[in-house]
Amino acid sequence: MGGFEGHLFPGLSIFFYGLYHAQLISRALICNCPVQYPPRYPWSQGRWARLQQIHYVGLVKILSSFILVAQELHNIQGQFVLISKIYHQRDFLYHKEWQHLTLYATFFLSGCVDVVSQNVLPQRAPALEQGTQALSMFLILTLMVSHLKDSEGVELQSHILFIQVLFLLLLVGIAELWAPNSLRFWVMKALLYMIAGSWLIQIGFMLFKPISGYKWMDDDKNDILFVTTFFCWHMASLAMLMIWIYGFSFWWYHYVC
C-alpha cells in the first residue's frame, strides 16, 4: 500500500467484494429469499462434483492476497527483515510494509475460512464467514489507526475518512452476528465495502497520480477541505450505483432468467 499500485489493487478487491454483496442483497429482495450466501450444489455426481462446490469468492480472496503480497515484496528495496541489530541496538524496520503484509494475511485467512467452511461445515458456513469478516475488520481498523503515524495534510485527512468507513463496517459486522438475515445490515455492508474500495483507489490517485496533473498540497487548507467533498461524492455516486444494480437485477430475474 506504499504506492499507487498498493492502493489500487486492494481498493479494487474491496470494491468488487462490495459489488458481490450488492448483487446478493438485490437477489434476496427480488426473489424473496433469505439474505445469505447462496449454497453451492454439485451439478453432477461425477469426478468434478467436489470442484463445483468450491466457494469461489473465498478462492478469489486467497489468490488476491498472494498477488498483493507479491506486489508489496516487489516494491521493497534492500533486505527485507523485521529487526536489525547494529551495535547492540534493536531497530524495527519496514513497519508499514509489515502492516501491509499483516493486512493481506487477513484476506488470506478469511478466504481460507470461506472455502473450508463451505465444504466441511456448510450449515455453519454463513455464521463462520460473518464472524471472520467482523474479526478481519477489527484487525484492519487497528492497523489503519497505527498507519496514521507520520501522516499529515491530504494523506492524513483521506485516511481518517477511510478509517471512519472501516469503523462503520466493523459495527455492521458485529451487529450482523446477531441478525444475519437483516436486509438493512446487508445493504449497509455492501455500500460500505464499495465506498472503502473506491475511496482507497481515490487515495492512490490523490497522493501519487492526481488526475489534474497538479500535486495536492498539504499546506493548502482548500485541498484538505476538498478531500472531504470528494468523499461525499463517492458516497452519493455509490448509493446511486446500488440503485442501478437493483434495477438491473430486477430486469434480469424477471425478464431473462
Give me the pLDDT at residue 200, please.
Answer: 92
Give me the pLDDT at residue 218, please.
Answer: 81
Q: How far is 138 from 23, CA to CA, in rounded Å?
A: 25
Q: How far is 122 from 33, CA to CA, in rounded Å?
A: 18
Give me the pLDDT at residue 149, please.
Answer: 77
DSSP track, 94-135? -HHHHHHHHHHHHHHHHHHHHHHHHHH-TTTHHHHHHHHHHH
pTM above 0.75, yes or no: yes
Q: Which residues contact 11 (CB under 8 A, 6 or more apart)?
A: 197, 198, 199, 200, 201, 202, 203, 204
* Ordered per-residue pLDDT tens for the chain, 257 residues: 567 787 888 888 889 889 988 988 888 888 777 666 554 554 445 544 444 445 677 788 888 888 888 877 777 766 666 556 654 555 666 677 778 888 888 888 888 887 777 666 666 666 777 778 888 888 888 888 887 877 888 888 999 999 999 999 999 989 988 887 788 888 999 999 999 999 999 998 998 888 877 788 888 888 888 899 999 998 999 999 999 998 888 888 777 66
Domain count for the chain: 1
Give me the pLDDT at residue 125, please.
Answer: 62
Q: What's the domain range around 95?
A: 4-255
Give me the pLDDT at residue 85, please.
Answer: 61
Give me the pLDDT at residue 191, please.
Answer: 93
Give me the pLDDT at residue 26, please.
Answer: 85
Kindly report each contact of residues 56-59 with a partner whose C-beta sits within 8 Å and lies 24 or more positions away, as own/partner.
Answer: 57/17, 57/20, 57/111, 57/114, 58/110, 58/111, 58/112, 58/113, 58/114, 58/115, 58/118, 59/111, 59/115
